[in-house]
Every structure is written in C-alpha cells, then in structure tokens.
A and B are shown apart, each in its own frame.
Chain A
Amino acid sequence: MKVSLFATCLSDALFPRVNEAMVRILARYGIVPDMPDAQTCCGQPAFNSGYFAEAKRAAKTLLAAFADSDFVVSPSGSCTYMVHHYETLFRDEPEWLDEVRRLKEKTWEFSSFLVNVLDIRDVGATFPARVTYHPSCHGSRLLGIREEPLALLSNVKGLQLVPLPMAEDCCGFGGTFAVKMGDISTAMVGEKADHVLETEAEVLVGLDMGCLMNIAGHLRHRGAPVRVMHLAELLDEGVRRA
C-alpha cells in the first residue's frame, strides 16, 4: 500500500516543519509516506486568478507524481480542495477526467485522513495550553472538514479549547487576493486577529499554512505573543511531551 505525501509548494518551501510533524505522526502508526519529487504545486494561485492553462501545467505534475499512489495526504485543506476541484479545471480537456477523478478519490487533508481513513482521534498527545482553532474556508465549507480537527484536539490531554468568535469568517488570505486587494485583506485579517486576541488563547491552531501565515504575520506585526501552529505541529509536539 502506497501512501504519498503532497507537501504543497507553500509548506515545502516555507514551512517544512509542518510536513515533518505530519510524517512523524503517521510513522507512529507504521506509515512512512514517500514524497514523489515530480510534484510542484496544485496550481491554485493560477486557477483562482482565472489562468486555467497555467494552472494545468502545475496540476499535471501532481497527476504524474501520484499516479501510482493509493493514498495522498496533504497538510492543507485549501490545496486538497483544489485537487478535488480538478474536474472544473480540466473540463475543457475531457481526456484527463478519468485520471483527475482517481486523484480526487485518493487525496486527503491530514486531519480528515487520520479520522476518516485511519479512524484515529487520539494520537496520545499532551499539550497543556489555552488553544483556539481557526477553520480555514476551503477545508471547512467546501470540503466539509469540521468535526475532525475538533475531535483530534478534544483528545489532547491538558488542552483547553476556547471557541474563536465568528470563527467561520475568512481571514483575508485568499491567495493573490491578499496582494491584489491588499486593503480589504488587511481589514479582514485585522478583524480575525481581534477575535483571536479576544479569546486570550496562547496558541492559535489551524489546518492551512496560507491562513496561518497570514494571521501570524499580522499578529507579529502587532507584537501579539500568540503562538501560531499547524494542527500536525501541535499533535507532534504533544506526542513528544507525553
């Protein structure tokens, strides 16, 4: 059985520790995924801006990389959603649709893979801290991943989960939106950060480094001492503390 890692260009280049945490968790259950080097990027930045041809050039690296995989696991709800949306991207190239559907079937966001495929809700972690959770838009709304991260967090010993007010509101990242409509994006991340600070949480946790990078970048700019972590990082650190 071949489990492969879809590292995402963002976490490959900027947040390797997130992928590292993810594979360490999986290794505890005897799964050491391979990471096919053919992969580059899911193509979402180009797709979201309406550049389908360009997006497909990136997407095809994923189709090639994971052709033989049984499961593909990713630390990003947003990139996973993009892969699940390839039918729209490839709708003018129907000869790819079969392969696209196969990839969709086998691609999972990390927390969803743990809970829905491996039926694991308790990784045996200890993390005594006041923590709040930001549900990224694509993962929660468009992939339906809502319960899984909460289930995993609820089983972490010592962790006090505090609800984030207006949690479902977008953080303002939206990929190129943050640059193209920077003023609106800044207003949105400002509002999100206000809500995070309202919770008085020590840690903000989430499933998507795009969102977390955005919120963390703004919190740092404001000098707020909130630690921002990906769920995989929190669980991995929690396992090593136990």
Chain B
Amino acid sequence: MMNETRGTSRRIFLLIARLALGVMFLFAAYAKLKPQAAMPWSIASVKISLSMFAMQVDSYQLLPAQAVTLVAHWLPFVELVLGLWLLSGLWLRFSSLATTLLLGGFFALMVRTYSMGLEINCGCFGPGEQLGKKTLLRDGSLLAFSLAVTICAFLANQRRDNTATSVPAAASQPQRAN
C-alpha cells in the first residue's frame, strides 16, 4: 500500500517535472529564435536572431569563431527537440539524462565565466539577461531539479522492470506447484 502511494506520487512528480522542463526548454528555444525588435517571423529574421545569439556565445570567450557559429545555430534547435521530447514522455530516462547533461554543461560554463569576472549576457533565455548570482542560482536549481527527475525516471523504470519480471515468476509458481 505504502509502495503504491510512493509510486503514484513519483509518477505525479515525473509528470509535472517533465512538463515543466519541456516548457522551459521550448521557451528557451523560442527566446533565441524569435525575431529582433519589430521584425516579422521569416528565415532572414531567424538568421539574425541566431547571429545575435552567436555574439552571446562568443562573449563567453571559450570557443573559436567556427565552433561559436556551429553551437549558436544548433543549440536552439536542440533545445526545441529536447523540449518536445520531454513533453512527449517517451523514454523519459534518456530525455531527462540528456537534459541533465545539457544543463550541467551550461552551469559549468556559467560558473567558469563568472569566476573569470566576465560581465556578459547569460544568453540562457535570449538576449538581455546579465550573468550573475541570480542566473547561477536559477540554473543550479534547474540542474538539481533535472537530476532529481533523471534519478526518479531511472528508479521508476527499474521498479517497472522488477514488477514485470516478478509477475511472470509469480504466475509460473503455481504451475510448478501443480
């Protein structure tokens, strides 16, 4: 009974968490792709937004120009796909693991930049957000949250596997007795 309640609460937590993370990633992708100022949505305006995001990636002073362009042009789409994957709930272990790894990478980069004393834009949710203690705290919390989701997803899967293996065993036991 207690195990059943725990299982239900874990399922609810996983549902809410993956929806929250999914929406957050979709918003992050949207913020990076949305046209600047009053420009209309078009391929050209999205290209401008991606180039602007490239400037933010470049300001971290970590990657060479070509890698900066590559990251800036792919990352928003990776976030978009990850957001949709989380919302779909398919292979949650892997989607949450990918999310944790990505957030871990972001967080490590932010800590490095902050410790270097660079005063730049975070670039997390598009332009206009300065990297500071607040953004570090937010991203650190998100990382912890995502890690908790990943652990829960793996535990839930393990439990499901155990149940699946124990059911046929239980079913086969009376047959053996017979």
**A, B from the same assembly:** no
Which A residues are closer than 8 A to B by beta carbons? none
